[in-house]
Amino acid sequence: MKQRLTHFFVNNPLLKVASLNSVSVVLRILSGLITSKLLAIFVGPSGMAYIGNLHDIINSGKAFSTLGLGNGIVKYVAELKDNTIELSKSLSTVFYFISGAALLMAFYVFFNAQAINDAVFTRTNNYVYIIKLLALILPLFALKTFVFSVMNGLSKFKRILRITIISQIIGVILSAFLIWKMELKGALIAILVIEIVLFIITMLSLSDVWRYFKLIAFHHISFKHVKNLGAFTIMALFSATVLPMVTLYIRNYLIEGYGDDMAGFWVAMQRISSYYLMFATSLITLYILPKFSGIHTDGGFRKEVIGFYKTIVPLFFCGLVLIYVLRKWIVTIIFDEGFLPMSDLFLWQLLGDFIKVLSLVLSYQFLAKKMVKHYIAVELLAIVTLFLTSIFFIDTYGLVGVVKAHFVSYLIHFTILLFVFRKPLFGKLTNSI
């Protein structure tokens, strides 16, 4: 029995990646805990709400500046790494299109900074310079995403995690200093400065991967690859546009109906959620997408899905149970006693996040196989459900309604995904997918 367990852990590739990933995630969580504590002391619940709003705008800006092609790069590098000619065409096409999109997005954000500020922070808060700084950083983020995605497609997991670890250590030091010195302004600036740090470290870590970037040439741009990658752009930009806007609207709805503090409690809950979700979501991004891209049979797809559910999901579930039991202690340690009202949000948030992880594994098949129509239809239904249930449950149950809506929307989302993939998951196995 002992030998079989040892063999399972040593030879399971998913667990190997998970163990490497866990080191990075633990450090990211520790850095997040430190910054969260500082935010609780110097910013408070009301400041948390505005930080959440800035994150939504940044995520949308990032998606548009990269045309949402990060996952597409991973897929095609993984598939074409042994075909130099086609890889050169793919990398060249993506690089120049992303560069153009990033510059256009940077100009748009910079010259519309005031309007964006009024939408994100309200007219009473003037953070136009934050928006302009974001505009300047967007091209750097786009290039960093391009490099990261190439590394991911080449399965350079250790290097990606090493870059992430170093960036987290430097980032938490800078964040702590800026929050201590400038409070909310420092917190907002820190979010952007960390992106610059990550860019610099990524550029210094190319080494042997550099030979792949030498394949990039303007005359290798291929409109055939534009068409192939267009599916990823449509899927990514759809989510990057609609979901953050819905989240922003819900947060502002809470602010108007219940005040800045209530919205801040929800942002704090989302912050904690992001910490424990890192274990699963980062592993899915690192492992599942490259795997799904190389799978062309129902049996292979079923094997990977069941393998993830059997290997990672039970560990994740046990972690969620522990978090729920210790929720008040966690809130007090991460933030302070002033945030204890958010402990009522944990049950539905944890349940929703558990279903979310189950859904994410399946939904990555949409990306791997460019199932654009399925992706948009399922995501649109999920987002509409989130919006409608959030408004209804907030009006009915108050603040806890927003996390109940989170659970309901992901439950519906997962049910639909099971229906979409019912044949490869539950039907008779065929030779293709």
Q: Which residues of 257-286 are buried (b: 16+ CB within 10 A; e: fewer)?
A: ebebbbbbbbbbbbbbbebbbbbbbbbbbb
Residue range(s) defining the domain that contains residue 393:
11-426
Residue 112 has pLDDT above 60, yes or no: yes
Query: For residues 46 and 43, what is the distance between their CA atoms, to the nearest angstrom?
Result: 7
Q: Is residue 83 part of a domain?
A: yes
Say what the pLDDT of residue 233 is.
77
Residue 2 has pLDDT above 70, yes or no: no
Max mean pLDDT range (75-79, 327-331, 364-368):
327-331
Say what the pLDDT of residue 19 is.
58
Residue with the larger pLDDT of the pair 209 and 357: 357
**Verdict on whether the full-model pTM lies above 0.75:** no
Q: Is residue 198 part of a domain?
A: yes
Q: Is residue 371 part of a domain?
A: yes
Q: Is residue 85 part of a domain?
A: yes
Query: For residues 330 and 201, what is the distance between their CA atoms, to the nearest angstrom?
Result: 32
Q: What's the pLDDT band for 12 if we cut at 50, 70, 90?
A: low
Q: Is residue 243 part of a domain?
A: yes
Query: For residues 201 and 313, what is the distance between their CA atoms, to the nearest angstrom?
Result: 32
Are residues 77 and 153 in contact, defined by beta-carbon separation less than 8 angstroms?
Answer: yes
Other Cβ atoms less than 10 A from the Cβ of 316: the count is 17
Query: pLDDT above 70 covers what percent of the chain?
Result: 91
Q: Is residue 6 part of a domain?
A: no
Q: Convert the pLDDT of each residue in 193-249 to its tens digit.
A: 888 888 898 888 877 677 777 788 887 787 777 777 777 777 777 777 788 889 888
- pLDDT mean across residues, the chain: 83
- Domain tally, the chain: 1
Query: pLDDT above 90 covers what percent of the chain?
Result: 25
Are residues 33 and 174 in contact, defined by beta-carbon separation less than 8 angstroms?
Answer: no
The DSSP annotation for 200-259 comes to HHHHTT-GGGHHHHTT--GGG--HHHHHHHHHHHHHHHHHHHHHHHHHHHHHHHHHHHH-
Q: Is residue 156 part of a domain?
A: yes
Say what the pLDDT of residue 394 is.
95
Residue with the larger pLDDT of the pair 430 and 93: 93
Q: What's the pLDDT band for 414 if we cut at 50, 70, 90?
A: very high
Query: For residues 375 and 378, what is the distance between their CA atoms, to the nearest angstrom?
Result: 5
Q: Is residue 117 part of a domain?
A: yes
Query: For residues 120 and 128, what is the distance between their CA atoms, to the nearest angstrom?
Result: 10
Residue 375 has pLDDT above 80, yes or no: yes
